[in-house]
Structure 1
Amino acid sequence: MPDEQGPGRDLKSFVLPEIGQLLETADPWEPYQLLDPFGRPVQPAAVYLKDLMAADSSPLTPRSYGMDLLRWWRFLWFFGIDWDRAVREDARDFMLWMKLADKPVRVHWRHRGKDTAKVPRLGTHAGRPLPGTPNAVTGKLTVGTKYAASTRAHCETVLRAFYDFHLERNTGSLLTNPFPLVRNRRSSRANAHHNPETGHSRQRTGLYRPKVPKRIPRQIPEDKYTKVFAGLRSHRDRALLAFWVATGARAEELLTSCQSDAIVGQQTIGVIRKGTRDYQELPATPDAFVWLRLYLEEAWRKGVPRGPKQPLWWTLRRPWRPLQYDAARMMFNRANELLGANWTLHDLRHTATFLMLDDPSMPPVYVQHILGHKCLSTLDIYNRPTRDDVIAAGLAHHARQQHRRENPPPAPPTPAYNPESLNVLFGSSLP
């Protein structure tokens, strides 16, 4: 591997090599392992991920952090840099590469080992909008060829926290964090000396951390939702969609439900919350339980395991396995393709929130509790007009202006003088 440092590094032609991997072990003590190109565990990453597990993080946190660490280690492996010898220039080049370079294109596993110029790549299917362009149905941008700002921000935060962790432990020959804070507060936290009587000023934490645009929640219009629902292939998929829109639960939260969690008499379904891992019962619609009953009757006849502690959602084919998030996402994407849309499962949660907040008899504090938000102020993002509302109001305004131009109001009548007043001023009229 080349040993290049600083200004001599050619980032324009650099392609991140697919060496090493993040291995899912199915071991609750160490669910994910970062392996080097020779299949050996990377010990600094293993210690850090173990500390995350001890801090009661979500089970998905080690995977999310591990992918960022794997991307950074591949950069270090290519340029022959030891992880504890990385300097600020290395971190700068890495974040600059993530900002300007295209994401590595992955070849589907069925085509690996073949001529890559003749096989389709992931995300380049014919008939779909070009990467990074708005979808004609939803108005949402499609996945682009560059790393998203949120991805780069998450990666910078993870790597800075990783090096802070090892600096506190005095690991190896590490002397400084290659991912520094903003210059004006490298040795303090954000707003450390804040006056509580004044508002907080927005400050970026990391020097190389990008600005992340605020996401606008998207609501699926009722007519489009009906078409998506009609495109589903099974009672299971219809039940899932009905529960997501009725409860506002996150996609992965609903998939944690057991068969005893669906209480028809109370019209509620229990889920495990993503952040707190608390169990919570959520109200749902009668239609959702009708689709659920149809799905369970069909699944039990086919041999799906039955029992109060058995998972509620299963695959549709043998061997029976609990339904995972990726499979549910692919199911929804197939229904999306019928309309040429690119809504996500999380948009169903936004749709449920809009429906609840549009009900004047539904107190916002109840909506907050149903959604599992910590603060009521989190609902402020739903007070903004949606894209469809803004476009509809703008089109209505232009239609009114066009109507006024084509149908101008009649001119007001010309005012006439009172004859009696004229007689007083100029005398009587001539004979």
Structure 2
Amino acid sequence: MVADDDDVVPFQVLGPDEQPVEPVARFLADFVARGNQPTSVRSYAYALLRWWRWLEAVRVGWDRATSAEVRDLVLWLAQARKPAMSAAPLNGAVNVVTGKPYPGSGYGPRTVRHSNAVLHTFYEYWIDRGEGPLVNPVQRAHSGAAPRPNRHHNPLEPFRPEGRLRYNPKIPKASPRAMPDQRWAELFGRLTSNRDRALLALAVSNGARASELLGLRGHDLDWGEQRIRLVRKGSRAVQWVPSSPESFVWIRLYLSELGEPLAPDQALWQTMRRRDRGAGLRRHPLSYDALRAVFRRVNAELGTNWSMHDLRHTAALRMARDPALTLRDVQVVLGHAHLSTTADIYLAEQDIEVARRVHQHLVEQASPSLSRPSLPPAAGEGYDRGDLSVLFGWNAG
């Protein structure tokens, strides 16, 4: 099992004796020392727990694992079902309002790819230390038709890895969708507290991630310039991003409801109810699970499956379609490291918009009276109408 730990390493993988598994514990300690966040440590711990249980089932030691065990694990994940979701009635169904599928009961391609990446990193750590297997069981796939990797390698520079991991499944590319204004109004109208209204208004105005918004503190608000200071996920870079005037109005209303001043270094988002966790009745910082509970309640009322990431997509697509903003502006606000990331995700044509335009085309073809006038403009003096009809495809009659 994975257990919380108050030590430097926030999560540990425990064995049957309820003691930390030594190889995993040493790897996670190094993982934390390299500056990774607790959320990453938690995801790595669960992936390694799954691997340890698999090795126990096939009776192979962790330091004797080969690519065959990795392959069999990938095959098992492709057909296995998550225990917590095996009885869910909406597994994989598509919501008719949002057009988004519900989480499936099985392990998706992203979970399998994450598992492979974690195991590859884990074994690279032990191979570098001269322990564990001699060859990383999570190997990279090289195409036989491709040129030899590192064929122009500079001996003064380290080798760089080539090729994707061998057993990584392909991920279908899905275009992000903006939440229609009517749906956003419905979602916002169902919120029951000014705290939730302020938080979601910030998200839909600048596209900040949930973890970035939940990390805000009192001194991260610039009331004069209407900006907030975010610590970016991944890079941990500090960045000021603009926010809508409406969001700051809701923040002011929320803070006035707290009834007590907020310290500059105190978490901005607090629970509305006071709870006793050993230090008396007091408010506590809003957690990600509590934020998900807000969406679960609203989604149950509306029959939808919206999430915080939908607000990020909505803000990004609104900005990308504004002719007053450049793609570089959108990249900076979203916190993307590369401009190509912003372009690949948010400049692609949405299938729903293409379908709407094609449907309008079909309606005009079926109803000539509703279509645009088909009569060509009058030919100018000195131009033969027959020649122009051949050149531009007009009806010469």
Same fold judged by TM-score > 0.5?
Answer: yes
Contact 2:81 2:107 in 1 (8 A): yes
Question: Which structure's CA Rg is the greater one?
Answer: 1
Is 1:335 matched up with 2:298? yes
Match of 1:399 in 2: 363
> Aligned equivalents of 2:93 and 2:358: distance in 1?
22
RMSD: 2.6
User: How many angstroms apart in 2 are the aligned matches of 1:57 and 1:192?
Assistant: 29
| Counterpart-to-counterpart distance in 2, 1:297 and 1:350 | 30
Q: Judge conservation of contact 1:228–1:338 (CA < 8 Å) in 2.
A: no
Structure 1 residue 67 displacement after superposition:
1.1
Q: 1:80-95, aligned counterparts within 5 Å?
A: 80-95=59-74
Answering whether residue 131 of structure 2 is matched by residue 171 of structure 1, we say yes
Name the counterpart of 1:422: none
Deviation at 1:236, TM superposition (A): 0.5
> What pairs up with 1:21-420 in 2 under 5 angstroms?
21-27=1-7, 29-103=8-82, 105-106=83-84, 124=88, 130-172=90-132, 174-182=133-141, 184=143, 192-193=150-151, 204-299=163-258, 301=259, 306-319=262-275, 320-380=283-343, 381-404=345-368
Equivalent residue pairs, number:
356
Deviation at 1:189, TM superposition (A): 12
* Inter-partner Cα distance in structure 1 for 2:87 and 2:201: 28
Deviation for aligned residue 1:193: 4.0
Q: Deviations over 1:266-318 (max 9, x none)?
A: 1111121112212221111111111111111111x2x5x62111110011111
TM-score with structure 2 setting the length: 0.83
Aligned with 2:302: secondary structure? coil
**In the aligned structure 2, how far is the partner of 1:122 from the partner of 1:100?**
12
Secondary structure (helix, strand or coil) at the match of 1:338 reads helix
CA contact (8 A) 1:134 1:140 kept: yes
Letter in 1 for 2:62: W
- Say which SS state the counterpart of residue 60 (structure 1) adopts: helix
1:199 maps to which residue? none
Residues 364, 370 of structure 2: 8 Å contact kept? no
Amino acid at match of 1:366: D
In structure 1, what is the Cα distance between the partners aligned to 2:86 and 2:210?
A: 23
Secondary structure in 1 matching 2:184: helix
* Partners of 1:34 and 1:393 in 2: CA distance: 53
**Secondary structure of 2:164's aligned partner:** coil
What CA distance in whole angstroms lies between the structure 2 residues aligned with 1:224 and 1:137?
Answer: 9
**Secondary structure of 1:178's partner?**
coil
Distance, in Å, in 2 between the alignment partners of 1:233 and 1:391 is 36
Question: Which aligned segments of 4 or more residues in structure 1 are displaced greater than 6 angstroms?
Answer: none
* % same residue: 40
In 2, Cα distance between the equivalents of 1:189 and 1:371?
36
Q: 1:190 to 1:135 in 2, by over 3 A?
A: farther
- Structure 1 residue 194 displacement after superposition: 7.5
1:3 match:
none
User: Which string of whole-angstrom CA distances, capped at 9 and with x for unpartnered residues, describes residues 193-251 of structure 1?
Assistant: 489xxxxxxx8522211112223222111110100000111111100110001121111
Q: Is the 8 A contact 1:190 1:205 kept in 2?
A: no
Structure 2 residue runs without a partner (length 5+): 154-161, 276-282, 375-397
> Deviations along 1:373-400, whole A, 9 cap, x unmatched?
1111111121112243123223323322
Q: Normalising by the residue count of structure 1, what TM-score does the alignment of the two structures yield?
A: 0.77
Aligned-partner Cα distance in 2 for 1:59–1:192: 35
Contact 2:86–2:105 (CA under 8 A) maintained in structure 1? no
Name the CA distance, whole Å, in 2 between partners of 1:183 and 1:95: 19
User: 2:331 touches 2:338 (CA, 8 Å); kept in 1?
Assistant: yes
Superimposed CA distance per residue, residues 99-146 of structure 1 (whole angstroms, 9 cap, x where no aligned partner): 12222x12xxxxxxxxxxxxxx68726xxxx31122211212211122
